[in-house]
């Protein structure tokens, strides 16, 4: 199957990374796609045939047998998987028969089954449960995988067959999905350099290997940097403002690191701002936490990522020039909804001024709160800094809306949110039901598995959830497949969601912020996109869409977190079971767009930063990362000292390690789609099965089987409008709302 870019990256999206029910009923495994026969490559050693990846899993849905998989199994399985696929590809390329859709495109879709099997699992564990041995395998295999991709996409005999079928496509009477496959795969070959001269192909191969190696090194350095940058506190008074549960979690984190009693550890998440900053009353501690986050990947030779990203930007510009594009962004957006970086920049240019203006208004309110508090303490005031924003924004919210985050969290217990919020909304919209499975092996004890049943009661998918933060887990939240859906291969979806919520101390509830709740709905939206996949070909299945479309179903699903019917079903006190009082619900609604200027500014700043890095031409000199970042933010008018970008260049994992290069704008673009789509739902009755089934049939089940702009317009009845986004994200004042 030719989802090679996913294999080479072997990471999660991201983009965009549970209950106590009895075991679900046993389910028969999905039909097995046969691994390539040993005769198609060199004879396979007996040791390889005993490798758990050599044949399809016999577990339900071909779920990975994590109880049988060991670190030492991955590298030989990856190498054997590449060898098998290359043998299959050579057989296709050397076929003496005239090229046809079946003997070329379908044959390619059937290739690489073992490689995809191992890489799907390898991507999951290296993202969420890595160790030194796995990181070494990543670094060893990255250049090999890049070369493997090139060996397919730059195979001239294979491309001649692909091009021959493409040129005949209008006369072949293909069904719509098959016709789409021909167009997508042909364009993938051209984008990968299939039409280059042999000399330029050789140059591109070298660049691809170097990029893959550096990208893997970046990811591993950043993971180590984030772990090492955790803030150790030995004076409990410096943590004033944290709840008892948060203090217990910080104490447990110190114990996990084998630190002495009386120590506390505040671990970092992947974003610039950290959750504890809204609660910590000690300004010195806040500054220490912020600076640890901001400088995490710029300290010491071992963890400093700047030289890597400076070279990565240069490599990508050179790659783009070779394949005929002025810059990397132009190359990568050519097959996206936006089509060109100029379109994406123009879109963000409409958002940035409104976001910055609102952020400045919010900053004035926060500065006034600082002045008021300092005057009450009879101490001199100070200028608002980024480490002050979240703390004083919380004070402003309390003053303006009489709303405190600590009032809300008791109503958002993780398991209840999942069962009676996330799953409930999916049941109301799509008729899905869920049963926890305790007989399916997992890669880490925190992981839970649910079997998903369709509206007719038939088994649909497996869903794994891994929600708690660990030192050996990448930051952020994401979704991906352990097994992809394909009618051709007879496989059903095995989906996982990963997040980085703070794990409570033993015996304590996992209480979430509203942002955490929305993250759960977001990632499950990706999950639905994967679960409802109903495609023939793996290349077009599920979430294998353009970056500026793939975040649409997830951002759309966020809306159900605050839908009145869904919210009332899960927002209940974890101690008493009582629903959130209406007075508190009203306060939340009133404060719903609070801090929206900050939120939109930090997100837009990151998206613009990404685009600026990837609009560099091949003739641009090697950049200094810090100087480039400062200049880019200033140029785009989004350089507010108190609103840093959501990710600094040196820890921007999305664009340097996770495949979102020149694509981070997609989070904004798909907010437009999601908010416009939700208006359509509201206009037609909101949370109804009819609406859900219509959305599923025309969007969620369609994968990449047709032009995505057309797909959206066919469902919506019109092109998306920016107005709902401006209103919903607090960038436009709406009278009487």
DSSP for 597-662, please give it.
Answer: HHHHHHHHHHHHHHHHHHT--TTSPPPPHHHHHHHHHHHTT---TTS--SS-GGG-HHHHTSS-TT
The Cα 487–Cα 476 span in angstroms is 32
Contact 293, 268 (CB under 8 A): yes
State the pairing for strand pair 478-483/448-453.
unpaired
- Residue length of the chain: 737
User: Kind and range of the H or E element at 533?
Assistant: none
**DSSP alpha helices (H): ranges in 481-624?**
514-531, 547-558, 564-570, 582-590, 596-614
User: Kind and range of the H or E element at 665?
Assistant: none
DSSP-derived secondary structure letter, 66: T
- Known catalytic residue at 523: yes
The Cα 114–Cα 74 span in angstroms is 11
Q: Which one of 109, 413, 523, 535 is the catalytic residue?
A: 523
CA atoms within 13 A on the CB side of 199: 0
- Measure the CA dihedral 10/15/17/19, to 10°: -120
Residue with tokens 């021909």: 182
User: Kind and range of the H or E element at 203?
Assistant: helix 198-228
The Cα 373–Cα 366 span in angstroms is 11
In three-state secondary structure terms, 42 is coil
Contact 225, 651 (CB under 8 A): yes
DSSP for 106-130, please give it.
Answer: IHHHHTTHHHHHHHHHHHHHHHHS-
Burial class (CB in 10 A: 0-12, 13-18, 19+), 22: exposed
The Cα 542–Cα 532 span in angstroms is 7
H helix count then E strand count, the chain: 30, 7
Burial class (CB in 10 A: 0-12, 13-18, 19+), 671: buried
Encode burial over 146-182: b for 16+ CB neighbours within 10 A, e otherwise.
Answer: bbbbbbbbbbeebbebbbebbeeeeeeebeebbbbbb
Contact 75, 137 (CB under 8 A): yes
User: Distances in Å between the alpha carbon of 56 and those of 49, 51, 79, 114, 134?
Assistant: 12, 11, 17, 8, 22
Contact 424, 557 (CB under 8 A): no
Burial class (CB in 10 A: 0-12, 13-18, 19+), 457: exposed
Token couple for 180: 């789409």
Residues designated as active site: 523
């Amino acid at each position: 199957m030719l989802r090679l870019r996913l294999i080479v990256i072997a990471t999660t999206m991201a983009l965009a990374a549970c209950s106590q029910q009895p075991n679900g009923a046993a389910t028969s495994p999905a039909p097995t796609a046969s691994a390539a026969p040993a005769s198609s490559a060199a004879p396979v050693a007996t040791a390889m045939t005993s490798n758990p990846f050599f044949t399809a899993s016999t577990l339900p849905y071909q779920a990975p047998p994590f109880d049988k998989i060991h670190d030492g199994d991955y590298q030989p399985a990856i190498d054997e998987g590449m060898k098998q696929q290359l043998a299959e590809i050579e057989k296709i390329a050397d076929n003496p028969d005239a090229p046809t859709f079946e003997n070329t495109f379908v044959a390619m879709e059937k290739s690489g089954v073992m490689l995809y099997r191992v890489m799907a699992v390898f991507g999951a564990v290296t993202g969420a449960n890595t160790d030194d041995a796995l990181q070494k395998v990543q670094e060893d295999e990255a250049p090999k995988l890049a070369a493997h991709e090139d060996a397919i996409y730059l195979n001239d005999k294979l491309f001649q067959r692909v091009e021959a079928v493409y040129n005949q496509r209008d006369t072949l009477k293909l069904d719509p999905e098959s016709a789409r496959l021909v167009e997508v795969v042909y364009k993938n070959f051209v984008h990968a350099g299939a039409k280059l001269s042999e000399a330029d192909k050789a140059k591109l191969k070298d660049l691809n290997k170097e990029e893959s190696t550096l990208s893997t090194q970046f990811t591993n350095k950043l993971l180590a940097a984030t772990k090492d940058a955790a803030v150790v506190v030995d004076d409990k008074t410096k943590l004033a403002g944290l709840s008892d549960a948060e203090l217990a979690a910080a104490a447990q984190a110190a114990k996990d690191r084998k630190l002495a009693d009386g120590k506390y550890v505040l671990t970092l998440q992947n974003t610039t701002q950290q959750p504890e900053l809204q609660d910590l009353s000690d300004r010195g501690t806040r500054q220490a936490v912020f600076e640890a986050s901001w400088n995490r990947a710029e300290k010491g030779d071992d963890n400093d990522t700047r030289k890597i990203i400076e070279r990565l930007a240069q490599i990508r510009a050179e790659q783009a020039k070779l394949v005929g594009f002025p810059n990397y962004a132009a190359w990568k957006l050519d097959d996206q909804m936006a089509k060109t970086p100029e379109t994406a920049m123009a879109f963000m240019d409409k958002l940035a001024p409104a976001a910055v203006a609102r952020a400045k208004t919010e900053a004035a309110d926060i500065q006034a709160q600082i002045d008021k508090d300092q005057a009450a303490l009879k101490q001199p005031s100070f200028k608002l800094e980024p480490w002050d924003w979240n703390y004083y924004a919380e004070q402003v919210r309390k003053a303006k809306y009489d709303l405190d985050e600590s009032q809300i969290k008791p109503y958002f217990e993780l398991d209840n949110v999942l069962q009676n919020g996330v799953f409930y909304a999916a049941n109301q919209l799509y008729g899905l039901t869920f049963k926890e499975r305790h007989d399916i092996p997992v890669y880490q004890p925190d992981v839970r598995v649910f079997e998903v049943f369709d509206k007719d009661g038939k088994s649909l998918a497996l869903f794994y959830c891994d929600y708690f933060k660990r030192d050996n887990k990448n930051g952020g939240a994401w979704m991906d497949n352990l097994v992809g859906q394909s009618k051709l291969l007879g496989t059903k979806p095995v989906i996982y969601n990963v997040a980085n919520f703070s794990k409570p101390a033993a015996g304590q509830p996992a209480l979430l912020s509203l942002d955490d709740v929305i993250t759960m709905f977001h990632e499950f939206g990706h999950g639905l996109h994967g679960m409802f996949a109903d495609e023939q070909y793996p290349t077009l299945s599920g979430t294998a869409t353009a970056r500026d479309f793939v975040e649409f179903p997830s951002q759309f699903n966020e809306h159900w977190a605050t839908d009145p019917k869904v919210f009332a079903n899960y927002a209940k006190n974890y101690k008493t079971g009582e629903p959130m009082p209406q007075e508190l619900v009203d306060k939340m609604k009133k404060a719903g767009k609070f801090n929206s200027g900050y939120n939109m500014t930090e997100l837009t700043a990151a998206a613009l930063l990404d685009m600026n890095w990837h609009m560099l031409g091949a003739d641009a000199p090697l950049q200094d990362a810090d100087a480039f970042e400062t200049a880019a933010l200033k140029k785009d008018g989004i350089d507010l000292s108190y609103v840093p970008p959501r990710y600094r260049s040196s820890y921007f994992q999305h664009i340097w390690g996770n495949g979102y290069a020149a694509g981070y704008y997609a989070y904004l673009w798909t907010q437009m789609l999601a908010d416009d789509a939700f208006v359509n739902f509201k206009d037609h009755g909101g949370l109804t099965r009819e609406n859900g089934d219509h959305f599923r049939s025309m969007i969620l089940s369609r994968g990449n089987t047709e032009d995505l702009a057309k797909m959206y317009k066919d469902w919506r009845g019109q092109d998306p409008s920016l107005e709902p986004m401006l209103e919903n994200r607090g960038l436009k004042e709406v009278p009487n709302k």
